[in-house]
Amino acid sequence: MAQGLARALEERGYRYAPEDPAPRLVLNFVSPQNPKAYRRRAQATFVLSILEAQEMPPEPVQAMYPYLVRTLANMLLVYIPGKEAHFFTLDLGHYSEPEGEGFFARLVERIHPMASATLVIKNRFEPDLEPELWEGDELTRQLAEAGKVLDSWHLLPAPFPIDKILPPEDYRHVQRLYGIGGLSYGNLSVRKDEKRFWMSASGVDKGNLRVIGRDILLVKDYDPEENCMVLSVPPHIEPRRVSVDAIEHWMIYREHPEVGAIIHVHAWMEGVPATQAHYPCGSYELARSVAELVRQSPDPTRAVIGLKNHGLTITGRSLRDILERIEGKLIRQVPMT
pLDDT in tens, 37-69: 999 988 789 999 999 999 999 999 989 988 999
Amino acid 178: pLDDT: 67
Nearest by Cα to 167 from 264, 51, 36, 73: 36
DSSP lists the bridge partners of residue 84 as 80, 98
Q: What is the mean pLDDT of the chain?
A: 93
Amino acid 108: pLDDT: 98
Average pLDDT over residues 239-262: 97
Average pLDDT over residues 159-184: 75
Three-state secondary-structure class, residue 172: helix
Amino acid 293: pLDDT: 98
The model's confidence at residue 124, banded by pLDDT at 50, 70 and 90, is: very high
Helix, strand, coil in percent for the chain, rounding step 5: 30, 25, 45
CB atoms within 10 A of CB 248: 29
Question: What beta strand segments (E) does 240-298 contain?
Answer: 261-265
How large a percentage of the chain has pLDDT more than 70?
A: 97
For residue 112, which amino acid is it?
H
φ/ψ of residue 261, rounded to 5: -160, 155
What is the per-residue pLDDT across 180-218, written as a single tens digit (0 to 9) for each?
Answer: 666 777 999 999 999 999 999 998 899 999 999 999 999
For residue 113, which amino acid is it?
P
Amino acid 181: pLDDT: 65
Separation CA 322–CA 296 (nearest Å): 19
pLDDT > 70? residue 319: yes
Phi-psi region of 38 (alpha: psi -120 to 50; beta: other; left: phi over 0): beta
What Rg, from alpha-carbon coordinates, does the chain have? Answer: 20
Separation CA 244–CA 140 (nearest Å): 19
Separation CA 310–CA 295 (nearest Å): 20
pLDDT > 80? residue 140: yes
- Angle (CA) 202-207-210 rounded to 5° is 75
Asked if 146 and 323 touch (Cβ cutoff 8 Å), the reply is yes
CA–chain centroid gap for 227, Å, is 17
Amino acid 41: pLDDT: 86
The model's confidence at residue 84, banded by pLDDT at 50, 70 and 90, is: very high
Q: Which long-range contacts (CB under 8 A, 24 or more apart) does 83-89 make?
A: 86/56, 86/60, 88/60, 88/61, 88/64, 89/114, 89/278, 89/280, 89/309
Domains of the chain: 2-115 (no CATH), 122-326 (3.40.225.10)
Amino acid 135: pLDDT: 97
What is the per-residue pLDDT across 280-312, written as a single tens digit (0 to 9) for each?
Answer: 999 999 999 999 999 999 999 999 999 999 999
Q: What is the pTM of this model?
A: 0.92
User: What residues contact residue 208 under an 8 Å CB cut-off, 6+ apart?
Assistant: 147, 148, 151, 215
DSSP-assigned states of every residue in 308-326: TTTEEEEEESSHHHHHHHH
Q: Which long-range contacts (CB under 8 A, 24 or more apart) does 13-20 make?
A: 14/115
HSE-up of 107 (CA within 13 Å, CB side)? 30
